[in-house]
């Protein structure tokens, strides 16, 4: 062990914390140079909008087509996957309730906060909202309420009430998302296997209550913070469920995709295949594929951000979810900085805070949301006035919010990728001892060894992080141009992006702040 390199440490309030290094300045500089080039190109060159592309039908592609048909044309493959995921989820709950309290020795915390959440976010990049199709919260709630693995019950199980009008938006999910962030970062449930398990149980209880009281899956569409985060990010995904021939859907009179069939349940989120144009509320459950009598529904491969660029409709509540998603994604990075710990320790006496520092944390959380939303609001209104358009503020606010989505998504991936690569070393041990029976706390040398025994070479990690950040900014600029092309036209037919410079500055600021966060040393969670 003498040759093991020592991890960096920092001293906070007399306690020593280990930190891992950030993205090297050379990579940060490279990203900033590319960002500058993209801004100049947007300001100096004419932009031509890209027409939506129908994409490729995956079932018809060689090789992968067979796999797609296997997974989507029979309910049993996905049912078996759901059983496996649900069993693993129950193991997580058992480990959290009865296993060791050491978070890095317990499957509940290791799997949930280091492995699962990172892979779920990365999976959206390739598979859209596929996680929702195997979500254990919904799976277990469905089995408990409907007593079926997949077959549609002959009678409606539950009261089948309609959701109150006030809940038929994303506001409940937004409130849950903010609350979950408060629990995760403020209360610190990521460090407690027991509280992680109790949170998981609480989500099952909520899913069961909503399924027992209300029709279809109101919890998934309007309340679940994970599902709504995935749903918004899925607007950027190259994969979606769509008709193979749109004309056949438009002429369909029976609408099995919406109403279901004798054996297959209706769309859980009230979508009609021929009439919806965004992945936000699609759970990828495949019910529409199985119920369509014409076999006209399949997975499509299409250009990235097709929906965010042009197809998704702007709504006030959804815009606020995207803006606060951007704020809280960055906030996760802020709370792992040594400077953050010093800051709330300085603030706590002024607020009369307790030892838990929850009041100080809550103030920082609110300030992050208000600052991000405030700067965005100023950028939106300033650009609206510069362009002299008659579009109302709320509509313009919602329209421009799509440009922030890839900026949040890119940092979300880059930040979580850093934790996954640096903190998952040796995590395979918890699979053989999920409850951590007989394990001891890690020594400093063991923690140091694990930090340097990374899942990927650091140069590859840094390249991936920098590449994702460039991709996010480029896509944000593209969506901004695509969404505002009609309003930015001059009398000569030229695109005047200078009038949109306040929004460009906002995208630069947010991406720059996230780059700065990636560059900083961050406290190791476990």
The answer to the question of residue 261 being in a domain is no
With respect to residue 271, please indicate whether it lies within any of the assigned structural domains: no
Q: What is the pLDDT of residue 7?
A: 54
Return d(Cα 194, Cα 93) in angstroms, integer.
8
Contact of 455 with 115, CB cutoff 8 Å: no
Structural domain containing residue 314: 10-48+57-232+308-523
Cβ count within 10 A of residue 156: 10
Q: Give the integer Cα–Cα distance in Å for 47 and 41.
A: 9
Evaluate whether residue 224 is within a structural domain.
Answer: yes
Answer whether residue 78 is part of any domain. yes
pLDDT of residue 491: 45
* pLDDT score of 6: 44
Whether residue 253 lies inside any domain: the answer is: no
In a domain, 258, yes or no: no
The maximal CA–CA distance of the chain, rounded, in angstroms, is 75
Which region, left, alpha or beta, applies to residue 391 given φ > 0 means left and ψ of -120 to 50 means alpha?
A: beta
Domain count, the chain: 1
User: What are the backbone dihedrals phi and psi of residue 306, each rounded to the nearest 5 degrees, phi first?
Assistant: -55, -45
Write out the DSSP string of 150-213: SSPPSS--S--BPPPGGGSSSHHHHHHHHHHHIIIIII-GGG-HHHHHHHHHHHHHHHHHHHHH
Q: Is residue 286 part of a domain?
A: no
**Model pLDDT, residue 426:** 67
- Taking only the tens of pLDDT, the chain with its 526 residues reads 334 444 577 766 666 777 888 999 999 999 999 999 999 999 888 887 877 777 899 888 888 888 888 888 888 999 999 999 999 999 999 999 999 999 989 999 999 998 899 899 999 988 999 999 999 999 999 999 988 777 787 777 778 888 888 888 999 999 999 999 999 999 989 999 999 999 999 999 999 999 999 988 899 999 999 999 999 999 999 998 889 888 888 888 889 989 988 888 899 998 988 887 788 899 999 899 999 988 899 898 988 888 899 888 889 999 999 999 999 999 999 999 999 988 998 998 888 887 778 999 999 999 999 999 999 999 999 999 988 888 899 999 999 999 999 999 999 999 999 888 887 776 778 888 999 998 888 776 776 666 677 888 899 999 999 999 999 999 999 999 999 887 766 544 456 788 899 999 999 999 999 999 999 988 876 6
pTM, whole model, 2 decimals? 0.93
Residue 248 belongs to some domain of the structure: no
User: Do β-strands 297-301 and 239-243 pair in parallel, antiparallel, or remain unpaired?
Assistant: antiparallel
pLDDT at site 11: 65
């Amino acid at each position: 062990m003498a040759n093991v390199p020592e991890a960096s440490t920092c001293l906070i309030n007399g306690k020593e914390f280990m930190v891992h290094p950030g993205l090297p300045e050379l990579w940060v500089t490279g990203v900033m140079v590319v960002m500058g080039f993209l801004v100049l190109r947007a300001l100096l060159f004419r932009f031509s909008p890209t027409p939506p592309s129908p994409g490729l039908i995956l079932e018809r592609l060689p090789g992968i087509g067979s796999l797609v048909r296997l997974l989507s044309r029979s309910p049993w493959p996905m049912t078996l996957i759901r059983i496996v995921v649900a069993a693993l989820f129950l193991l997580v709950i058992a480990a959290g309730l009865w296993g060791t309290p050491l978070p890095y020795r317990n499957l509940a915390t290791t799997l949930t906060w280091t492995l699962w959440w990172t892979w779920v976010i990365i999976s959206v990049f390739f598979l859209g909202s596929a996680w929702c199709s195997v979500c254990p919260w919904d799976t277990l709630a469905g089995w408990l309420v409907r007593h079926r693995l997949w077959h549609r019950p002959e009678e409606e199980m539950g009261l089948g009430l309609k959701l109150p009008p006030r809940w038929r938006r994303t506001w409940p999910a937004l409130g849950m998302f903010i609350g979950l962030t408060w629990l995760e970062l403020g209360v610190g449930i990521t460090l407690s296997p027991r509280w992680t398990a109790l949170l998981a149980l609480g989500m099952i209880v909520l899913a069961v209550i909503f399924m027992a009281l209300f029709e279809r899956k109101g919890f998934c569409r309007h309340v679940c913070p994970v599902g709504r985060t995935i749903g918004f990010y899925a607007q950027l995904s190259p994969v979606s469920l769509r008709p193979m021939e749109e004309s056949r859907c438009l002429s369909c009179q029976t609408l099995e995709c919406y109403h279901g069939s004798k054996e297959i349940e209706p769309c859980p989120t009230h979508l009609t295949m021929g009439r919806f144009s965004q992945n936000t509320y699609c759970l990828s459950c495949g019910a529409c594929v199985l119920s369509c009598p014409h076999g006209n529904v399949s997975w499509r491969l299409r250009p990235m951000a097709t929906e965010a660029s042009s197809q998704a409709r702007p709504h006030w509540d959804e815009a606020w979810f995207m803006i606060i998603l951007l704020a809280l994604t960055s906030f996760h990075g802020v709370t792992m900085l040594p400077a953050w710990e010093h800051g709330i320790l300085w603030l706590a006496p002024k607020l009369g805070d307790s030892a838990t520092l929850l009041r100080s944390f809550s103030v920082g959380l609110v300030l992050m949301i208000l600052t991000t939303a405030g700067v965005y609001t100023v950028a939106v209104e300033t650009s609206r006035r510069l362009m002299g358009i008659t579009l109302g503020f709320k509509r313009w606010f919602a329209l421009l919010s799509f440009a922030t989505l890839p900026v949040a998504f890119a940092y979300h991936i880059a930040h979580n990728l850093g934790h996954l690569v640096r903190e998952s070393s040796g995590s395979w041990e918890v699979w053989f001892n999920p409850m951590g029976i007989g394990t001891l706390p890690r020594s400093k040398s063991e923690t140091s060894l694990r930090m340097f025994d990374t899942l990927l070479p650091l140069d590859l990690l840094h390249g991936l992080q920098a590449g994702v950040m460039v991709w996010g900014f480029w896509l944000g600029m593209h969506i901004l141009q695509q969404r505002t092309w009609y309003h930015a036209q001059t009398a000569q037919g030229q695109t005047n992006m200078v009038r949109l410079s306040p929004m460009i500055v906002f995208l630069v600021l947010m991406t720059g702040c996230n780059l700065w966060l990636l560059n900083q040393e961050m406290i190791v969670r476990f």
